[in-house]
């Protein structure tokens, strides 16, 4: 019987035939963590093992609270720096690198056929490069550091086929929010999701990362895009290790297949307070907004900044506007391309690469009654630090248009 | 792990997410579990943490714990006094975090529909039963690995025991 991509990866790891539903204990190839590595290192010490079993597989990237906004975060960072030194962990990226998922990918850890876990729910992002990658908890990371392995339940797979023609003002984010609106936030609970179809094969890596990042918001264990020439071009100069590309078999058994024709979708918005609270932008035009946020692990890549620059060029923002490149490499590119100057001239604040205000840990916090329109992936109540505030989610084009007018505005009016 | 749990029910709806269970603003603060418990469900039900009693049970709709991978969302609830969560379904990472914290997460849509806020119910882990005032519902046994983790009171103890067993074995062989 044919196998899906995830069945193949677990078959390879377990060295025996594995199908969906089975529980296996296997060794992941890379284990990612960020600022929570401080708490993980404390749990690790409780286990009583002296050394991390495979320090070369551990990747730590500081991004959630950088630079430290308060003493407790500074202490966390210090503990992590001491721990990586003590354990000989060389894949450590301090506060001047960027958001973990972007840095991990740029630095060539996200590779086809790898089994990757991370103590962050959006670890699903690396599926854009053909990896099997899933978010796990802190204790689980500590236990892999100690033993090298973890238990997994092999998921069934949902195939999502994206057909149609993608008009130039529709972005991967609009597609992701639209899909989540249809299948809802538990539509792929415990499942693997494979994104296929013409639309996907024409997408850049940055766009595929949006789909796989947002797979977490469908409840999926992982997202996956089959590697192709776009993937191999991207990793050619980046790959840290050898890799073996794995594909689903033609006769693999899928849990279900869902097809979407995205030719006619509008720019999409997720209304407060859930990501599946979908509305086409036409329904919300004119809603006043207090703050615009462009960035995060979902939409802080060069292509996203380019979209924002296209709209902001030569205009002034009407509301406070925060722009955060996802990494220092992207920041540098954006400077070269003139985007950063456009943002500053428009009156936007350009912040250092990191998670920024997305999770309410620091920066860009709202007051009660205020509303932010953001390119992030979550709009839960209290997410940005204030439970009486509201968060709308959309594409960089839609958020940039709103920054200019101070209300939700169809970006097609500016293009 | 205890085999029988009896307690009063706190009932909630669908899609209770990790941000309302344990707000992101606390996630990078160094906190003991008892301190985390004071913030449990803070943005969903601000009265929960101060009124919950040892042994109480949470009963919720579908997709409980969706969102972030933050483990504190499971630990805060466990240390608030809650012993078991029953839901129509659990978000994947939350389910793992609950098990790894040594707190049973039981899926039973039928029981959730039949249970009201404030009900007294009993859960029999050994026989897979949820017993309410008027009804009895069954749930399937956990896979072996999951049961072992629960019986060790969480993943870290489970790993510790496993390592100790291996060391003992090595010593015997020597």
Mean pLDDT of A186-213: 97
pLDDT band, residue A362 (cuts 50/70/90): confident
pLDDT tens readout for residues A157-190: 999 999 999 888 999 999 999 999 999 999 999 9
Residue A273, preceding peptide bond in cis (omega within 30° of 0):
yes
**B165 close contact with A: CB closer than 8 A:** no
The mean pLDDT value of chain A amounts to 97
> What confidence score (pLDDT) does residue A162 get?
98
Phi then psi for B94, rounded to 5 degrees? -60, -45
> What confidence score (pLDDT) does residue A372 get?
98
Instruction: Read off the CATH number of the domain in which B92 is found.
Output: 3.20.19.10
Chain length of chain B: 174
> What confidence score (pLDDT) does residue B159 get?
94
In a domain, B163, yes or no: no
Nearest chain B Cα distance for residue A229, angstroms: 32
How many Cβ pairs within 8 Å bridge chains A and B? 129
Total of domains in chain B: 1
Judged against a pLDDT cut of 80, whether residue B96 lies above it is answered with yes
Q: Which domain holds residue B105?
A: 4-141
Question: Cβ separation of B156 and A382 shorter than 8 Å?
Answer: no
Mean pLDDT of B28-37: 90
pLDDT band, residue B49 (cuts 50/70/90): very high
Mean pLDDT of A248-268: 97
In a domain, B99, yes or no: yes
Question: Cβ separation of B159 and A359 shorter than 8 Å?
Answer: no
Where do the structural domains in chain A lie, given as residue ranges?
5-239+248-260, 269-414
Q: How many helices (H) and strands (E) does chain B have?
A: 8, 7
| pTM, two decimal places | 0.94
Question: Cβ separation of B91 and A39 shorter than 8 Å?
Answer: no
pLDDT tens readout for residues A115-126: 999 999 999 999
Q: Name which of A315, A298, A334, A297 is nearest A406 in CA terms.
A: A315
The pairs formed by B104-110 with CB atoms below 8 angstroms and a separation of 24 or more are B104/B1, B104/B5, B104/B150, B105/B64, B106/B130, B106/B139, B107/B139, B108/B137, B108/B139, B109/B62, B110/B137
Judged against a pLDDT cut of 90, whether residue A130 lies above it is answered with yes
> What confidence score (pLDDT) does residue A67 get?
96
| Token pair in block for residue B46 | 């601000």
In a domain, B157, yes or no: no
Mean pLDDT of A137-147: 96
> What confidence score (pLDDT) does residue B28 get?
81
> What confidence score (pLDDT) does residue B166 get?
84
Task: Tell me how far apart the alpha carbons of residues B139 and B126 are, in angstroms, rounded to a whole number.
Answer: 10
B44 contact residues in A (CB cutoff 8 A):
381
Judged against a pLDDT cut of 90, whether residue B27 lies above it is answered with no
| Token pair in block for residue B108 | 């039973």
CATH fold of the domain at A269-414: Aconitase; domain 3 (3.30.499)
A47 contact residues in B (CB cutoff 8 A):
156, 159-160, 163
Q: For A254-300, what is the HEC assignment?
A: CCEEEEEECCCCCCEEECCCCCCCEEEHHHCCCCECCEEEECHHHHC
Task: Tell me how far apart the alpha carbons of residues A407 and A348 are, in angstroms, rounded to a whole number.
Answer: 16
Judged against a pLDDT cut of 80, whether residue A412 lies above it is answered with yes
The mean pLDDT value of chain B amounts to 93
pLDDT band, residue B21 (cuts 50/70/90): very high
Task: Tell me how far apart the alpha carbons of residues A389 and A374 are, in angstroms, rounded to a whole number.
Answer: 13
pLDDT band, residue A361 (cuts 50/70/90): confident
Judged against a pLDDT cut of 80, whether residue B2 lies above it is answered with no
Interface of A with B in 124-163 (CB under 8 A): 135-140, 142-143, 146-147, 151, 153
| ipTM for the predicted complex | 0.86
pLDDT band, residue B30 (cuts 50/70/90): confident
Nearest chain B Cα distance for residue A377, angstroms: 10
Task: Confirm if A150 and A28 have CB atoms less than 8 A apart.
Answer: yes
Judged against a pLDDT cut of 80, whether residue B174 lies above it is answered with no
Task: Confirm if B61 and B14 have CB atoms less than 8 A apart.
Answer: yes
Out of A64, A72, A123, the one facing B30 most closely (by C-beta) is A72
In a domain, B65, yes or no: yes
- Domain spanning A5-239+248-260: CATH superfamily: Aconitase, domain 3 (3.30.499.10)
Mean pLDDT of A37-65: 96
- CA torsion sign for A108, A113, A114, A117 is positive
> What confidence score (pLDDT) does residue B171 get?
82
């Amino acid at each position: 019987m044919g196998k899906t991509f995830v069945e193949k990866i677990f078959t390879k790891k377990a060295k025996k035939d594995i199908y969906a539903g089975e529980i296996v204990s296997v060794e992941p190839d890379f284990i990612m963590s960020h600022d929570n590595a401080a708490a993980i290192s404390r749990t690790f010490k409780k286990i009583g093992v002296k050394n991390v079993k495979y320090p070369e597989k551990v990747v730590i990237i500081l991004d959630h609270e950088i630079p430290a906004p308060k003493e407790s975060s500074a202490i966390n960072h210090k503990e992590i720096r001491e721990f990586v030194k003590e354990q000989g962990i060389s894949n450590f990226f301090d506060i001047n690198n960027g958001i973990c998922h972007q840095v991990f990918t740029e630095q060539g850890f996200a590779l086809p056929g790898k089994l990757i876990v991370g103590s962050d729910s959006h670890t699903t992002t690396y599926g854009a490069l053909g990896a099997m990658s899933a978010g796990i908890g802190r204790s689980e990371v500590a236990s892999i550091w100690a033993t090298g392995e973890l238990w997994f339940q092999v998921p069934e797979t949902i195939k999502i086929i994206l057909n149609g023609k993608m008009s130039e003002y529709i972005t991967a984010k609009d597609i992701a929010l639209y899909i989540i609106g249809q299948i809802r936030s538990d539509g792929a609970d415990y499942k693997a999701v494979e994104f296929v179809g013409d639309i996907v094969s024409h997408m850049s890596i940055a766009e595929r990362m949006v789909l796989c990042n947002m797979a977490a918001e469908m409840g999926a264990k992982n997202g996956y895009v089959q590697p192709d020439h776009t993937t191999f071009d991207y990793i050619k100069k980046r790959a840290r290790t050898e890799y073996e590309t794995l594909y689903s078999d033609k006769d693999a058994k899928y849990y279900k297949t869902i097809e979407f024709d995205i030719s006619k979708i509008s720019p999409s918005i997720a209304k407060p307070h859930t990501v599946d609270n979908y509305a086409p932008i036409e329904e919300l035009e004119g809603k006043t907004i207090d703050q615009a946020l462009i960035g995060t692990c979902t939409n802080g890549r060069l292509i996203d900044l380019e979209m924002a620059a296209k709209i902001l060029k030569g205009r002034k923002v009407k509301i406070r506007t925060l722009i955060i490149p996802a990494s220092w490499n992207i920041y540098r590119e954006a400077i070269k391309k003139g985007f950063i100057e456009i943002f500053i001239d428009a009156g936007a604040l350009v912040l250092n690469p990191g998670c920024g205000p997305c999770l309410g840990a620091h920066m860009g916090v709202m007051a009660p009654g205020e509303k932010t329109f953001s390119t992030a992936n979550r709009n839960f109540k209290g997410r940005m630090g204030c439970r009486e505030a509201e968060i709308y989610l959309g594409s960089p084009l839609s958020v940039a248009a709103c920054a200019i007018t101070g209300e939700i505005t169809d970006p097609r009016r500016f293009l | 792990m205890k085999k029988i749990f009896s307690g009063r029910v706190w009932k909630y709806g669908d899609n209770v997410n990790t941000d309302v269970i344990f707000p992101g603003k606390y996630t990078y603060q160094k906190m003991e579990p008892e301190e985390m418990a004071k913030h449990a469900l803070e943005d969903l039900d601000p009265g929960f943490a101060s009124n919950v009693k040892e042994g109480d049970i949470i009963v919720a709709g579908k997709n409980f714990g969706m969102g972030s991978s933050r483990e504190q969302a499971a630990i805060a609830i466990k240390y608030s006094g809650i012993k078991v969560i029953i839901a129509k379904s659990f978000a994947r990472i939350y389910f793992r975090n609950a098990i790894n914290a040594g707190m049973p997460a039981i899926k039973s849509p039928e029981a959730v529909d039949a249970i009201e806020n404030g009900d007294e119910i009993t859960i029999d882990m050994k026989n897979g039963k949820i017993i309410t005032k008027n009804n009895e519902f069954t749930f399937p046994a956990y896979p072996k690995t999951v049961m072992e983790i629960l019986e060790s009171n969480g993943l870290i103890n489970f790993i510790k025991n496993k390592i100790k067993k291996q060391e003992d074995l090595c010593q015997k062989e020597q």
